């Protein structure tokens, strides 16, 4: 394939990195909901079979979360936006879930998981968008064994979908007493905690089909190099924007984001 034909793909990945970084900083998520479909499209164009392109897209998306989450977390931490006591309490479950998620990714039906995820995302989006700020399931975020079970589930699902843990952890934290700004900042660090073990697992995985050059395990290094610079540049900008928005507006923004997640996952669950 001529290099001239690769420039549009490179520009597409660079632009996608900008959007993913903004979302990561603004909402405390990894931007994978944007990256995965774009990577899947690019990989298919480059000749990767459909049965392998989704695996590589998910794995590469998760790998991009590491540098993006670092940049986003630093920006949130500078504004005291991370609940470090909760990070310490949930860290074992997040790390365990990252390992489990990458191990199960090739064994669980993506369509079924996407359908369940879409249903959950719609319910959570409704809560975030409606004026239910004072509605709580409990007054404090679970810790101990119960909290780590929740963290493991969040991390496992997120790793398997190639997305940051914020998509699930932010609603969980806000439903259990955490302020939205604090939840978004903490979720940014959660993304780093689950992405590290998940990425290691994907690096060691056996590809289901022959992969193009510059691919280790299920992770495309060339796509990673194209996305990371722009995503890490935009993540702190998104974090600063998050702290300028009021609580209700930030909840509504996150609710809209989850609606987009639900639609995308629903289409994925219905695709052959």
Instruction: Give the pLDDT confidence of 38-97 residue by residue, as tens digits.
Output: 888 888 777 777 777 788 888 888 898 888 888 888 888 888 889 999 999 999 999 999
Give whichever of 29-43, 136-150, 258-272 has the largest mean pLDDT.
136-150
Residue with tokens 């989704």: 54
pLDDT tens column, 181-210 = 888 889 889 988 988 999 999 898 877 667
Contact predicate 177/86, CB 8 Å: no
Share of the chain above pLDDT 90, in %: 13
**pLDDT class of 5 with cuts at 50, 70, 90:** low
Instruction: Give 36: exposed, middle or buried? Use CB within 10 Å, 0-12, 13-18, 19+.
Output: buried
**pLDDT score for 196:** 92
CB crowding 186-217: b at 16 or more within 10 Å, else e: bbbbbbbbbbbbbbebbeebebeeebeeebbb
Average the pLDDT over 167-179 and give the result. Answer: 83
Kindly state the tokens that stand for 195: 């992405």
Q: For the chain, what is the HEC assignment?
A: CCHHHHHHHHHHHHHHHHHHHHHHHHHCCCCHHHHHHHHHHHHHHCCCCHHHHHHHHHHHHHHHHHHHHHHHHHHHHCCCCCCHHHHHHHHHHHHHHHHHHHHHCCCCCHHHHHHHHHHHHHHHHHHHHCCCCCCCCCCCCCCHHHHHHHHHHHHHHHHHHCCCCHHHHHHHHHHCCCCHHHHHHHHHHHHHHHHHHHHHHHHCCCCCCCCCCCEECCEEHHHHHHHHHHHHHHHHHHHHHHCCCCHHHHHHHHHHHHHHHHHHHHHHHHCC
pTM of the model: 0.79
Q: Return mean pLDDT, the chain.
A: 80
pLDDT tens column, 30-53 = 677 778 878 888 887 777 777 777
């Amino acid at each position: 394939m001529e290099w001239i034909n690769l420039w549009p793909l490179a520009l597409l990945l660079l632009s996608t990195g900008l959007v993913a970084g903004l979302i990561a900083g603004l909402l405390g998520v990894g931007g994978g909901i944007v990256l995965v479909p774009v990577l899947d499209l690019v990989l298919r164009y480059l000749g990767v079979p459909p049965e392998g392109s989704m695996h590589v897209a998910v794995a590469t998306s998760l790998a991009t979360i590491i540098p993006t989450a670092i940049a986003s977390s630093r920006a949130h931490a500078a504004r005291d936006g991370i609940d470090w006591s909760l990070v310490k309490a949930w860290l074992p479950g997040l790390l365990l879930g990252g390992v489990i998620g990458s191990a199960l990714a090739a064994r669980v039906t993506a369509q079924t998981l996407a359908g369940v995820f879409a249903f959950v995302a719609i319910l959570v989006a409704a809560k975030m968008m409606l004026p239910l700020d004072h509605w709580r399931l409990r007054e404090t975020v679970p810790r101990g064994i119960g909290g780590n079970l929740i963290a493991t589930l969040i991390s496992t699902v997120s790793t398997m979908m190639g997305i940051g843990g914020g998509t699930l952890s932010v609603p969980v934290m806000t439903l259990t007493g955490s302020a939205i700004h604090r939840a978004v900042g903490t979720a940014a660090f959660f993304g780093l905690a689950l992405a590290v073990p998940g990425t290691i697992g994907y690096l060691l995985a056996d590809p289901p089909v022959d992969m193009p050059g510059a691919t280790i395990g299920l992770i495309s290094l060339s796509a990673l190099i194209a996305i990371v610079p722009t995503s890490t540049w935009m993540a702190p900008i998104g974090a600063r924007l998050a702290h300028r928005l009021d609580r209700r507006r930030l909840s509504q923004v996150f609710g809209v984001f989850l609606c987009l997640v639900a639609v995308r996952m629903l289409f994925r669950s219905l695709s052959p």
